[in-house]
Amino acid sequence: MEMWGSSYLIQDVEPVRLIGIIGASTEAGAGSVRVSFNQDPGVFTVTQTESEGTLVAKWDVALRLMALLHIVTLQNKILRGEASEIGSASCGACVFTVSGGERGAPVTCSWDAATPDVEYKRVAEGTGDQFELVMTEEAAIELVTDLAERIAANGAATANGGGP
């Protein structure tokens, strides 16, 4: 039986506005994470060509995205009665490449469009700029880890007086 936990809102803080909604569902052994959003250039956009998908988010929005992805992946594990820790992703091939993210600069996350672990689609026909990014739970865990490592590396470089 599929189980759903809570959904969370992703907001931009300057000005405060709704960017998207994150929700997760799980069945025995596996779950998925869904990010529903409107394209908002300069704040949160996703594009996909035949070969590559790209998510670009403002630094502070990427930080919130990372935190909320962490929460919903833990929530899925708790709903399945598993240990409430994510560790690192155990998927065989890396799905995401994360770049950018210098304090104040956007974070870019890209993936191979052929991967079955990430799906980018319009919510429904006739819905304008409403889109969804659906990830397997393992891909979402990898994205959490990659974003955390990127943000931490940029913070350490800044603290040491250099650039990332």
Please give the pLDDT value at position 156.
Answer: 64
Task: Name the residue range of residue 33's domain.
Answer: 3-159
**How far apart, in Å, are the Cα atoms of 131 and each of 1, 12, 31, 49, 69?**
26, 17, 20, 15, 17
Q: Would residue 54 count as lying in a domain?
A: yes
Q: In the structure, what pLDDT confidence band is assigned to residue 123 with cuts at 50, 70 and 90?
A: confident
Q: Would residue 135 count as lying in a domain?
A: yes
Q: Would residue 15 count as lying in a domain?
A: yes
Total of domains in the chain: 1
Q: Would residue 113 count as lying in a domain?
A: yes
Q: What is the pLDDT of residues 65-108, one digit of tens each?
A: 999 999 999 999 999 999 888 766 555 558 999 999 876 789 99
Q: Would residue 96 count as lying in a domain?
A: yes
Q: Are 36 and 25 in contact (CB under 8 A)?
A: no
Q: Would residue 105 count as lying in a domain?
A: yes
DSSP single-letter state for residue 64: H
pTM given for the model: 0.83
Q: Would residue 116 count as lying in a domain?
A: yes
